[in-house]
Amino acid sequence: MVVSSPLFDINQLNIEQQKKFDTVYNELKSKHTSYLQYKFNLPLKTQFDSEQEENEWRYELYRFLRARKWNVTHTIKSLVEMIQWRIDNNVDSILEHAPMSSRMELLGKVVPNAQHGYTKAHRPLYIEKSGLIHVNKILKMFTSEDLVQCHIYWLEYYCQLARERSRQLGKHVETFAMISDLHGCKLNLRKVLPLFKQSLYIDENYYPERLGQMLIINPPAIFPTLWNLVKHWFDPVTKTKIIVIKKGPGTLTLLLQHIDSDQLPREYGGTCNSCSTAPNCIPVYDWGKDTADDKQEEQEEQEGLEGQEEQKGLEGQEEQKGLEGQEEQEEHKEQNE
């Protein structure tokens, strides 16, 4: 038998929460049994153990109840939709699907990233050099559907890491953490915002309460512009888990509050020497580097985007002047009266 995560202890809930938990559990018992049978019969699937699946299901209910603010009706509806979504999209086989593994490997060539140890809270740590993502190259190499499937693969992989960490520690770990390094970030990152919004929808509807922490480091001058475009897409609770760390002498101190030094790449002030590519723990491959044509194309786009921003600023100034003019006219009219 596969060793499970620590058993879910319903005593961690108060009396009212226990009642709601039991209601959801009993309402979905038949649905979950059918889903387990579906998973068991899959030709390709990650490791399967009925006792472990039952235990993880209880944790799943608990996460969804928290995410839906303990509203029983909304929780049941969300869980039913989640199960159907997983079946429709073959999510329970995605980690065993060879073409997906190859696609993820290819994506890693143009999106510098790594699974890099754990945080002090034992969360699996994902580090991405988001500012060095070559947006144009990705959009040429992958369809939107490809990228959505890659995101689902990534989520399943980190959920699996959290489950494995739970078995290692003998305590439940259900969240993961992320460092997003925005050094080198450009305005053309806006081109993938629709995809980002779609990914966020998947996160919050099918993987709620899975993000434990997101540390954004080296935010560029354009970060406030980008953040203003996306911040309203986040659930209020999720936003509290996002920490922006500005570049400066205190960066390492702040990172070390959350991550032990040996779990942090040397380029961020850590002491990691266990990676095969150390000290370049998150290598940037030639595929992800700009060619002369790429740089020319990007420069033209950047100038165009900056021109659009400048035009919007001028239009805003003209609109403000117009409003001020109207106010002056109204004030003058009132004085004459």
Q: Is 50 exceeded by the pLDDT of residue 2?
A: no
Q: 108-152 pLDDT, tens per residue?
A: 889 999 999 999 999 999 999 999 988 888 999 999 999 999 999
Domain ranges across the chain? 10-89, 98-288
pTM tops 0.95, yes or no: no
Strand order in the sheet with 176-181: 113-118, 124-128, 176-181, 211-217, 242-245
Question: Taking residues 49-56, what's their average pLDDT?
Answer: 83
Confidence at 161, pLDDT banded by 50, 70, 90: very high
Q: Is 70 exceeded by the pLDDT of residue 309?
A: no
Q: Considering the domain 98-288, what is its CATH architecture?
A: 3-Layer(aba) Sandwich (3.40)
pLDDT reported for residue 71: 98
Give which of 205, 120, 218 is closest to 155, Cα–Cα. Answer: 205
Q: Is 80 exceeded by the pLDDT of residue 10?
A: no
Lookup result for tokens 């078995």: 167
Mean pLDDT of the chain: 85
Between CA 270 and CA 261 the distance in angstroms is: 5
Q: 163-180 pLDDT, tens per residue?
A: 999 889 988 899 999 999
Confidence at 4, pLDDT banded by 50, 70, 90: very low
Q: 243-292 pLDDT, tens per residue?
A: 999 888 888 889 999 999 999 999 898 999 888 777 888 888 766 555 55
pLDDT reported for residue 303: 60
3-state helix, strand, coil in the chain (%, to 5): 65, 10, 30
Exposure string for 194-207, b = 16+ CB within 10 A, e = fewer: ebbeebbeebbebb
Q: 58-94 pLDDT, tens per residue?
A: 999 999 999 999 999 999 999 999 999 999 999 999 9
Confidence at 302, pLDDT banded by 50, 70, 90: low
Q: Which two tokens stand for residue 97?
A: 């699907």
Between CA 106 and CA 137 the distance in angstroms is: 12
More confident residue, 108 or 300: 108
Q: Is 60 exceeded by the pLDDT of residue 311?
A: no
DSSP structural state of residue 250: T
SS3 234: coil
11: how many CB neighbours lie within 10 A of its CB? 7
pLDDT reported for residue 299: 62
Q: Is 80 exceeded by the pLDDT of residue 225?
A: yes
Residues 6 or more apart whose CB falls under 8 angstroms from that of 51 comprise 1, 4
| Kind and range of the H or E run holding 220 | none
The residue type found at 286 is D
Confidence at 307, pLDDT banded by 50, 70, 90: low
Q: Is 90 exceeded by the pLDDT of residue 34?
A: yes
Nearest-5° angle of CA 59, CA 64, CA 68? 150
Q: Which two tokens stand for residue 81?
A: 């939709």
pLDDT reported for residue 14: 92
Q: 13-31 pLDDT, tens per residue?
A: 999 999 999 999 999 999 9
DSSP structural state of residue 271: -
Q: Is 50 exceeded by the pLDDT of residue 3?
A: no
